Amino acid sequence: MNPRIVDWQGKRVWIVGASSGIGRATASALHARGAIVHVSARDAQALRDFADRHPGALVVPLDATERLQVPDAARQVLRGGPLDLVMYCAGHYRPMRATSFDLAQALRHQEVNYVGALHVLDAVLPSLLARGGHVSLVASVAGYRGLPNSLAYGPTKAALIQLAQTLHLDLHTMGIGVSVINPGFVETPLTAQNRFRMPALLTPQQAAEAILRGWERGRFEIHFPRRFTLWLKLLRLLPFGTYEKLVLRWTGL
């Protein structure tokens, strides 16, 4: 569904949300394959540590929720030439249920997980439309259907999934790649907050390899690990009443 990226040597990549977890591991994997990697996040020290370990990586500190920062960061990245791939991986997660609703936290999820992606799209779409490239949004299987503890997080990931679908409808005929990444459980600082058993838990490095395989095969949706995500896809097809009973039984709630 997308143009395949089979040779990363010299490809110019911008990863927003690269200070830890999936974003950092993906940046490292791309660097190892010869890509020119630009890394952005709020944690400038973590980015500098990454650059020290990955010579040639370019550091562009950025808070994607700050609208005025993003165009300046994009201009800095694009100064070296058009981008072959932009990955939005910035994320925020706090477990939340309706019995402990926190408006400030809900809005923070929206700003980081979704609005930040819009800011980046606004900054890079003119270049993509003029010269081609690929944009990839990191969502989550939590965006498939409602899940316990995901009152703030899940809706933002559902929004990213639909955003990617609509972008693909608009851009694929122009040869511009669009992909959405829907991981299951990955061992990151965000999932470390969970106090339940996380089935099929992956390392960030395993997630990065799955993402690169997806890009190299031209996939629109990159979901992993399939032994877990395929079950969730099947559950998504059930009537809500049946789905709800199964999820509550599975989670013990």
Q: Does residue 70 fall inside a structural domain? A: yes
Q: Does residue 245 fall inside a structural domain? A: yes
Helix (H) or strand (E) holding 244, with range, is helix 240-251
Residues with Cβ within 8 Å of 29's Cβ and at least 6 positions away in sequence, in order, are 205, 208, 209, 212
3-state SS class at 64: coil
CA distances, 113 to each of 110, 126, 138, 143, 219 (Å): 5, 22, 9, 12, 22
- Bridge partner list, 116: none
How confident is the model at residue 196, as a pLDDT? 56
Q: Does residue 166 fall inside a structural domain? A: yes
What's the CATH code of the domain at 28? Answer: 3.40.50.720
Give the other-Cβ count within 10 Å of 77's Cβ.
Answer: 23
Q: Does residue 122 fall inside a structural domain? A: yes
Catalytic residue among 93, 114, 144, 153: 153
243 given a catalytic annotation? no
Q: Does residue 244 fall inside a structural domain? A: yes
Contact 151/126 with Cβ under 8 angstroms?
no
* Mean pLDDT of successive 10-residue stretches along the chain, which has 253 residues: 95 97 97 98 97 97 97 97 97 94 98 98 98 98 92 97 98 97 81 64 91 98 93 92 89 69
Q: Does residue 4 fall inside a structural domain? A: no
How confident is the model at residue 147, as a pLDDT? 87
Residue-number span of the structural domain to which 49 is assigned: 12-251
Contact 146/101 with Cβ under 8 angstroms?
no
Q: Does residue 152 fall inside a structural domain? A: yes
Tally the domains of the chain.
1
